[in-house]
């Protein structure tokens, strides 16, 4: 069984952090810090453990933030320990890196609000050793314009992790991060940053740009479609991949503008066969279905074939979740035949209810057919 994430903040890790603080600040109370940070540690989960370490840092680092910032930066692992530009997790005899950056960055977010430029410089140093995408968000929330002005200079940084911090840290709806409500309401300030990063040499950065636009599309679909249309003009293959990834949620939702931008028009098809192989499916099993389509067009058609599973809820109503299936080009008058097996095993993010469920076939955003099956829990 994999080691729980929370164990990245175990007593060994805290002792390592304390040793690095003492190494660069000889007066640091190593014993007091360890005792404070490890109190009740076994009862805490990941974020609570990280917060406990931040509390200990507040207690034992200098009250003067610039002085504390000097300790933090000096305690970081040397850049030479980062292998081929990739983040290396784990303990280091030469400095802090990996998961331990998380509470260190959160400390900066908590204590550095009145020292914006210094705090951002510190987070910039840290992001190469793990990520500062969560810790930078309080600054974007409370000091938006000033923070944007500073990080706009980072889009040309030599370090891809710093450039990615610009696009990832500004995501309006970053999972597990503070929601940036200002950008949810008005994403326009993000465009100059994303536009300068859209052709970044690093796919790591370009994918982050796509994720940022995908976030924005949940609230400003047409705005993102307009950007996509503009970016696809004389676009490289890399930029085309970025745009497709940025539009993925809109494509799943069948947004006409997003489909049109990517060249997917209304599908001209006939359903020859769509069968669910089992009338009843036991929880823990799988629903299997066959689909056969015939093109009713004389020309070839680019097709995105998805399916939606309409899950039964406690109140008897259903909620659909769309899943990707096939992307293909179908010749005029040609056929497509495919089979799909969808697992109905229990997962932590969904509660299943017995009763009728529905599989819906979606092609280029259009609903073509539905079939029902019965889910049994026992």
Task: Please write the tens of the pLDDT for every residue from 49-87.
Answer: 999 999 999 999 999 999 999 999 999 999 766 554 444
- Strand order of the β-sheet with 355-363 is 280-282, 366-376, 355-363, 301-312, 318-330
CATH number of the domain residue 56 falls in: 1.25.40.290
At 82 the pLDDT is: 59
Q: 251 and 114: one domain?
A: yes
Average pLDDT of the residues of the chain: 94
Q: 77 and 203: one domain?
A: yes
Q: 361 and 301: one domain?
A: yes
At 81 the pLDDT is: 62
Q: 341 and 221: one domain?
A: no
At 94 the pLDDT is: 85
Q: 185 and 292: one domain?
A: no
Domain of 21? 5-261
Q: 222 and 345: one domain?
A: no
At 61 the pLDDT is: 98
At 80 the pLDDT is: 64
Q: 255 and 345: one domain?
A: no
Q: 245 and 284: one domain?
A: no
The verdict on pTM exceeding 0.75 is yes
Percentage of residues in the chain having pLDDT higher than 90: 90
Report how many domains make up the chain: 2
Band the pLDDT of 5: cuts 50, 70, 90.
confident
- Is 60 exceeded by the pLDDT of residue 88? no
CATH number of the domain residue 326 falls in: 2.60.40.10
At 378 the pLDDT is: 86
Final residue belonging to a domain, choices 195, 230, 261: 261
At 4 the pLDDT is: 82
Percentage of residues in the chain having pLDDT higher than 70: 96
Q: 250 and 273: one domain?
A: no
SS (H, E, C) the chain: CCCCHHHHHCHHHHHHHHHHHHHHCCCCCHHHHHHHHHCCHHHCCHHHHHHHHHHHHHHHCCCCHHHHHHHHHHCECCHHHCHHHCCCCCCCCCCECHHHHHHHHHHHHHHCCCCHHHHHHHHHHHHCCCCCCCCCHHHHHHCHHHHHHHHHHHHHCCCHHHHHHHHHHCCCCCCCCCCCHHHHHCCHHHHHHHHHHCCCCCHHHHHHHHHHHHHHHCCCHHHHHHHHHHHCCCCCHHHHHHHHHHCHHHHHCCCHHHHHHCCCCCCCEEEEEEEECCCEEECCCEEEEEEEEEECCCCCEEEEEEEEEEEECCCCCEEEEEEEEEEEEECCCCEEEEEEEEECCCECCECCCCEEEEEEEEECCEEEEEEEEEEECC
Q: 318 and 293: one domain?
A: yes
Lowest mean pLDDT among 86-90, 181-185, 355-359: 86-90
- Is 70 exceeded by the pLDDT of residue 357? yes
Q: What is the pLDDT of residues 143-186, one digit of tens each?
A: 999 999 999 999 999 999 999 999 999 999 999 999 999 999 99
Q: 108 and 186: one domain?
A: yes
At 87 the pLDDT is: 41
Q: 198 and 344: one domain?
A: no
């Amino acid at each position: 069984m994999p080691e729980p994430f929370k164990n990245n903040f175990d007593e060994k890790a805290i002792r390592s952090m304390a040793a690095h603080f003492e190494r660069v600040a000889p007066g640091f109370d190593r014993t007091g810090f360890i005792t404070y940070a490890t109190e009740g540690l076994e009862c805490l989960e990941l974020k609570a453990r990280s917060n406990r370490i931040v509390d200990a840092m507040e207690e034992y680092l200098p009250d003067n933030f610039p002085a504390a910032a000097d300790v933090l930066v000096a305690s970081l692992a040397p850049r030479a320990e980062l292998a081929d530009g990739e983040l290396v997790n784990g303990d280091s005899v030469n400095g802090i890196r990996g998961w331990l950056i998380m509470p260190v960055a959160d400390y900066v977010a908590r204590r550095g609000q009145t020292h914006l430029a210094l705090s951002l410089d510190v987070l910039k140093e840290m992001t190469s050793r793990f990520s500062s995408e969560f810790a930078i968000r309080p600054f974007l929330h409370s000091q938006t314009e000033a923070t944007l002005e500073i990080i706009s200079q980072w889009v040309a940084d030599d370090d891809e992790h710093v450039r990615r911090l610009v696009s990832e840290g500004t995501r309006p709806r970053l999972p597990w991060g503070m929601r940036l409500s200002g950008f949810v309401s008005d994403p326009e300030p993000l465009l100059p940053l994303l536009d300068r990063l859209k052709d970044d040499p690093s796919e790591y950065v370009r994918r982050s740009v796509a994720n940022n636009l995908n976030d924005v599309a949940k609230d400003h679909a047409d705005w993102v479609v307009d950007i996509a249309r503009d970016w696809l003009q004389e676009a490289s293959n890399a930029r085309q991949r970025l745009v497709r990834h940025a539009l993925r949620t809109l494509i799943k939702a069948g947004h006409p503008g997003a489909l049109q931008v990517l060249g997917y028009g209304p599908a001209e098809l006939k359903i020859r066969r769509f069968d669910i192989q089992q009338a009843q499916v036991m929880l823990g099993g799988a629903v299997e279905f066959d689909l056969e389509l015939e093109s009713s067009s004389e020309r070839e058609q680019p097709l995105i074939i998805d399916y939606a599973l309409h899950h039964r809820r406690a109140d008897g109503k259903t909620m659909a979740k769309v899943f990707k299936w096939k992307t293909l080009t179908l010749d005029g008058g040609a056929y497509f035949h495919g089979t799909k097996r969808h697992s109905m095993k229990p997962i932590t993010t969904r509660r299943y209810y017995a009763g009728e469920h529905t599989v819906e076939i979606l092609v280029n955003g259009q609903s073509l057919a539905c079939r029902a099956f019965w889910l049994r829990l026992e």
